[in-house]
């Protein structure tokens, strides 16, 4: 078992996170300043004209009053070689284009600075919008999965499984087998830090843009073993941003279409990114492991939160009474009331759990 954070380690980590956040803010500010400097240079270049005849530079600036009157009050100071010649007309379209470019660079620099500040305080806003739209879509898909009736093969298997744990494990294995990469399979809720997010299958970059994802090396909840879930801390709604604030005894709720699981946190650890086994290995009891990068704004290490399964409430088809139980109940009613034998209907087996 990996060691739990000590107080000194948390303080050092907090200082390191603050230093990294300050460095990120400074880099963003420097980028904005460089963009503003470039915009100023572009604006200066936009008001310079090149004489086509002898390559001399003509600077636009107010002329002294005495010369302004002698030169037709044009407001320009011309070089001596062009004193008797008419000044070439200023390329207005070129100046306008440079000015637009300058303003655009200033705006982009300002937006970059605002994005960096929002990311430091809250999370990255652009990716958060994308993830919010994906979460809305996945919520609808998860509700449809919860309402879906078992397949004929599942019905036959469930009819012969009297133990609810076996029924939950069977339905978990069926969902794990048929679910596609990035599809909705459960919802994770962590009351301590206000998390409620749809969980997807897989931990590829494209999967985690939609929400927390189950490691392919681990099992779905309800199957004996370890279930590991990874999530972002600064981008794509940052579902695991505050998992460092979780403590021993806090609850994690995982709602799957076939059962509702409650896990109790037992500890935390920080490991190297290459130590995948620390998150995926099987122990002597069903457990849940949350995984995220640490410290904030860095992928140098992985923060793992360990939790043990403490209760399971079957749902959907897993909560319906098996066929053998229904037959026993029917036989009991027949003996007590009439000689007629009551066979269970198919609808009785598949009735939804309320």
Tens digits of per-residue pLDDT, 99-110? 777 667 767 666
Confidence band for 343, pLDDT divided at 50, 70 and 90: very low
Q: What is the pTM of this model?
A: 0.63
Instruction: Return the pLDDT at 97.
Output: 75
Q: How many Cα atoms sit within 13 Å of 274 on the Cβ side? A: 0
- For residues 176-189, average pLDDT: 98
pLDDT (average), residues 54-82: 47
- What does the alpha-carbon distance between residue 78 and residue 83 come to, in Å, rounded to a whole number? 6
- If you search the block for the tokens 């505050």, which residue do you land on? 242
Closest by CA to 219, choosing from 146, 295, 168, 267, is 168
Q: What is the pLDDT at residue 257?
A: 98
Max distance between CA atoms of the chain, in angstroms, equals 127
Tell me the percentage of the chain whose pLDDT exceeds 70. 58
Specify the pLDDT at position 284. 93
- The token pair that represents 181 in the structure block: 């990469």
> Any residues with CB less than 8 A from the CB of 187 and at least 6 apart, and which?
142, 196, 197, 198, 199, 254, 255
User: pLDDT-derived band of residue 337, with 50, 70 and 90 as boundaries?
Assistant: low
Residues 241, 273 contacting (CB under 8 angstroms): no
Region for 122 from its dihedrals, namely left if φ exceeds 0, alpha if ψ lies in -120 to 50, beta otherwise: alpha
Q: What is the DSSP letter of 221?
A: T
Which pair of tokens denotes residue 164?
């609810």
Residue 186 three-state SS: strand
- The phi and psi torsions of 9 (rounded to 5 degrees) equal -65, -40
Lowest mean pLDDT among 57-71, 202-216, 283-297, 303-317: 57-71
Tell me what pLDDT residue 37 has: 59
**If pLDDT is split at 50, 70 and 90, which confidence band does 242 have?**
very high
- In order, the DSSP letters of 254-314 are EEETTEEEEEEEEEEEEE-TT-THHHH---SS-EEEEEEEESTT--SEEEEEEEEEEEEEE
In this prediction, residue 291 carries a pLDDT of 98
Task: Tell me what the mean pLDDT of segment 170-178 comes to.
Answer: 97
Is residue 147's pLDDT more than 80?
Answer: yes
In whole angstroms, give the CA distance from residue 329 to residue 320.
14
pLDDT reading at 7 higher than 50: no
What's the DSSP call for residue 101? H
Q: Count Cβ atoms below 10 Å from residue 100 Cβ, excluding itself.
A: 12
Question: Looking at residue 348, what is its pLDDT?
Answer: 36
For 327, the 3-state DSSP assignment is helix
In the structure, what pLDDT confidence band is assigned to residue 297 with cuts at 50, 70 and 90? Answer: confident
Range 235-259 burial, b when 16+ CB lie within 10 A, else e? bbbbbbbebbebeeebbbbbbbbbb
């Amino acid at each position: 078992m990996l060691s739990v954070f000590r107080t000194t380690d948390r303080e050092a980590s907090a200082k390191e996170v603050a230093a990294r956040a300050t460095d990120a803010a400074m880099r963003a500010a420097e980028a904005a300043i460089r963009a503003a400097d470039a915009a100023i240079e572009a604006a200066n270049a936009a008001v310079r004209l090149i004489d086509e005849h002898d390559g001399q530079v003509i600077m636009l600036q107010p002329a002294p009053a005495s010369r302004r009157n002698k030169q037709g009050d044009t407001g320009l100071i011309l070089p001596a070689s062009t004193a008797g010649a008419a000044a070439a007309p200023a390329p207005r379209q070129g100046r306008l284009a440079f000015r637009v470019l300058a303003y655009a660079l200033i705006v982009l620099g300002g937006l970059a600075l605002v994005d960096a500040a929002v990311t430091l305080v809250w999370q990255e806003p652009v990716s958060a919008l994308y993830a919010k739209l994906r979460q809305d879509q996945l919520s609808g898909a998860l509700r449809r999965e919860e309402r879906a009736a078992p397949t004929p093969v599942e019905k036959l298997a469930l009819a012969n499984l009297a133990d609810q744990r076996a029924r939950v494990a069977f339905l978990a294995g069926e969902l794990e087998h048929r679910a596609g990469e990035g599809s909705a399979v459960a919802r994770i809720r962590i009351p301590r830090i206000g998390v409620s997010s749809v969980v997807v299958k897989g931990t590829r970059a494209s999967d985690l843009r939609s929400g927390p994802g189950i490691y392919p090396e681990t099992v779905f909840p309800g199957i004996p073993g370890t279930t590991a879930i990874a999530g972002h801390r600064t981008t794509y709604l940052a579902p695991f941003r505050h998992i460092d604030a979780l403590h021993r005894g806090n609850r994690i709720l995982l709602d799957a279409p076939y059962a509702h699981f409650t896990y109790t946190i037992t500890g935390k650890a920080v490991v190297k990114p290459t130590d995948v086994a620390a998150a995926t290995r099987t122990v002597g009891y069903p457990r849940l492991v949350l995984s995220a990068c640490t410290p904030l704004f860095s992928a140098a290490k992985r923060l793992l939160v360990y939790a043990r399964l403490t209760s399971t409430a079957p749902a959907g088809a897993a909560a319906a009474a098996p066929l053998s139980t229904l037959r026993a109940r029917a036989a009991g009613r027949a003996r007590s009331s009439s000689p007629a034998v009551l066979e269970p209907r198919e609808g009785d087996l598949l009735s939804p759990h309320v």
